[in-house]
A and B are shown apart, each in its own frame.
Chain A
Amino acid sequence: MAEAIKVPTMAEYMAEGKKPEVLFWVGCAGSFDDRAKKITKAFVKLLNEAGVDFAVLGTEESCTGDPAKRAGNEFTFQMQAAMNIEVLNGYEIEKVVTACPHCFNTIKNEYPSLGGNYQVMHHTQFLKSLLNEGRLKVEGGKFKGKRITFHDPCYLGRANGEYEAPRDLLKKLEVELIEMRKCKSNGLCCGAGGAQMFKEPEPGNKDVNVARTEQAMETKPEVIAAGCPFCNTMMTDGVKSKEKEDSVAVMDVAEMIANAKDL
């Protein structure tokens, strides 16, 4: 039995009259998806390890509205945004960190004009800042020298121009980082974005996640590193479709760090 992890909520902080350093926005996938919950927990362990004073919204959190917006349902999106902004502003939140690039993009870029202004960071950016401040130490550990390729999430990379934070973290793990033929601004989508995660693909000759997994496989990786719960699902399914799940792992960068530290 792993020991229970400490996850304070904003409501608890409020009751004690305190404010945390940062709000951890868990997101729907991070809250409900079995695979993504592991990423959530790994990140929380790292936050605790680094002594970060954080809190979550818990039951007061709701979908940011990203899939609704990208599906074309602006009403649902703006309703979700309005409710979330009311909660966030009610707690006077200033800084938000999230392990989901979709939540990251939405809160960072689309909430401000609806009245929600926060400093928003992707968890890889936040972990990097902890590293730079010396609050978190990352060393090679079990990933040292392993062949790793990083799949850029569209909503972190192309959408927001962040390509280096996850790679800097991987370099700290002393992995052998091998880039795919399509990477960074030319990276191929995993196929989940734009609400595709929640519908059947349109007719075609291949699934996007399989195409992307094939590109990843060209690098002969031991681990495909990801920075998004949806990419993680898509790449995991892709690896399974190639029957390579025994030799190739799909892991979030935060999981790899937590794992390397035996947390």
Chain B
Amino acid sequence: MQIVAQIVFLIALVFGVSFFVRNIKRMLRNIKLGKAIDRSDNPSERWSKTLRIAFGQSKMVRKPVSGFLHVIVYLGFVIINIEVLEIIIDGLFGTHRVLSFMGGFYNALIGIFEVLALLVFVGVIIFWIRRNVLNIYRFLCRELKGWPKNDANYILYFEMVLMTLFLVMNAADYQLQLNGAAHYAHEGGIIGGFPISQFIAPLFEGISNSTLIIIERATWWLHILGILFFLNYLYYSKHLHILLAFPNVYFSKLKPKGEMDNLEAVKNEVALMMDPNADPFAAPAEGEEEGEPEKFGASDVMDLNQVQLLNSYTCTECGRCTAECPANQTGKKLSPRKIMMDTRDRLEEVGENINKNGKFEDDGKQLLDDYILREELWACTTCNACVEACPVGIDPLSIILDMRRYLVMEQSAAPNELAVSLTNIENNGAPWPYNQMDRLNWAEEN
């Protein structure tokens, strides 16, 4: 019987982990559909930023209530998962609390896990109330209707269930140890610390050991299978941030927020235009491929860079960006969160296309218009409030800018008044139709 359980466990573990690995590989493949971007500079600054913002949650706590609760759930998640190590060893080898040889330290550890589990449980309930009962604007936006809202709730339910299973499992185990049941009781007395589950254990008094073992085994199995399921749910949910927040912060932009990249392709064109010796009618040099002219800006996910695509997988749809966006606050369609969600949805669609066809086959769709509307793009003031607000270093503004570049440089589709101003800049060096020769007139005026 025991050996069967061990084999079933091994199969579940191998299946759970390999399915997860398969999906992560797909995700990485999808991210690599984007343009390469070099973010290998300043590793020490990048590490310190990652320690501060990702590990240290420094931007999360700018909103004290959700920030504090998030820190609890984050710590709970990271620390309680040490327990998973023991569960895996026990499952594979049929042992009971194999790490208990550490004695008092082990007991303290289990005790801490229990306290954290309770705190996580409470935190998650408050999160649920914030999402479903309180009228918090960023949880009520248009783009959260339907799946995204359900997704968020499923994650919360999941964590509630996992924490409950963990505590009930410990309670049953504790009661079995008190009862002196075989395989559970140890010579040295009670192993593990049960500061929380000791209050659940009295419910089990008077229940036979065989029933208790069923409860303990059932919760143990549901707990570990739940964790394996949750691991695999990540890829299909908004919850990948628990893994990707770290690389995402590491690869985020270090330069001043106001600095927008100078397009290399344009640099070459401008250099040619400024060069008095350049022959505009020159044929391409011998042996030089006359390839596709480079596309300016982005109309689909493949035109974005890999960090932007990583950003889209990292976004957990918290909406802090959207809550700070001046356009969104004044009723415009733009929501930086939606920009990220659309980018990911389209990227997933492209990925599915590749899974099916072996390579990407034109599906007549693109990120622009089919997902992100021009009206959204043109509502942005480039104020960087969204970038500043993101707790994990996502840059929705860079995507907006790249898509504007496509609209203006590939399609000449700037809004009319704006097109006039741009023409003015080209013609007379100012966005208004004033003569450059009048630029110093102010000095003479009173």
| A and B pair up | yes
In chain B, residues 405-446, which have Cβ atoms closer than 8 Å to a Cβ of chain A?
405-409, 414-415, 417-418, 420-422, 425-426, 429-432, 434, 436-446
Interface size of B by CB at 8 A reads 70
Q: How far is the CA of A76 from the CA of B437 in the complex (A)?
A: 20
Cβ of B369 under 8 Å from chain A: no
B326:A188 contact, CB within 8 angstroms: yes
A75:B421 contact, CB within 8 angstroms: no
Taking A7-B440, A193-B383, A211-B330 as contacts, is the C-beta distance between A69 and B258 under 8 angstroms?
A: no
A154:B430 contact, CB within 8 angstroms: no
Q: How far is the CA of A76 from the CA of B273 in the complex (A)?
A: 12
Cβ of B149 under 8 Å from chain A: no
* 1/0 contact string of B197-238 vs chain A (CB within 8 Å): 000000000000000000000000000000000000000000
Residues of A within 8 A of B388 (CB): 158, 185-186
B404:A159 contact, CB within 8 angstroms: no
B381:A192 contact, CB within 8 angstroms: yes
B378:A211 contact, CB within 8 angstroms: no
Q: How far is the CA of A133 from the CA of B233 in the complex (A)?
A: 61
Residues of A within 8 A of B331 (CB): 203-206
Q: How far is the CA of A32 from the CA of B270 in the complex (A)?
A: 28
Residues of B within 8 A of A71 (CB): 404, 408, 414, 418, 421-422
Residues of B within 8 A of A200 (CB): 415, 417
Contact of B445 among A26, A37, A109 (CB under 8 A): A37
Contact of A110 among B262, B324, B329, B406 (CB under 8 A): B262
Q: How close is B428's CB to chain A, nearest CB, in angstroms? A: 9
A82:B259 contact, CB within 8 angstroms: no
Interface size of A by CB at 8 A reads 77
Contact of A114 among B262, B407, B408, B414 (CB under 8 A): B262
Residues of B within 8 A of A117 (CB): none
A67:B382 contact, CB within 8 angstroms: no
* 1/0 contact string of A171-197 vs chain B (CB within 8 Å): 000000000000001111101111111
Most chain A CB within 10 A, of B375, B434, B439, is at B439
Cβ of A62 under 8 Å from chain B: yes
Cβ of A113 under 8 Å from chain B: yes
A59:B421 contact, CB within 8 angstroms: no
B425:A75 contact, CB within 8 angstroms: no
Taking A7-B440, A72-B297, A73-B408 as contacts, is the C-beta distance between A78 and B262 under 8 angstroms?
A: yes
A204:B332 contact, CB within 8 angstroms: yes
* 1/0 contact string of B317-334 vs chain A (CB within 8 Å): 000000010110111111
In chain B, residues 326-354, which have Cβ atoms closer than 8 Å to a Cβ of chain A?
326-327, 329-334
Q: How far is the CA of A109 from the CA of B258 in the complex (A)?
A: 8
B260:A69 contact, CB within 8 angstroms: yes
Q: How far is the CA of A196 from the CA of B274 in the complex (A)?
A: 29
Residues of A within 8 A of B406 (CB): 72
Q: How far is the CA of A95 from the CA of B404 in the complex (A)?
A: 32
20 contacts between A and B (CB under 8 A): A7-B443, A9-B440, A26-B439, A58-B439, A59-B436, A61-B439, A63-B430, A70-B401, A74-B296, A75-B409, A78-B263, A79-B270, A79-B273, A158-B388, A193-B383, A200-B415, A204-B379, A207-B330, A208-B381, A211-B330
**A-B CB proximity, top 7 nearest:** A159-B258, A72-B404, A194-B382, A205-B331, A62-B429, A189-B383, A109-B259
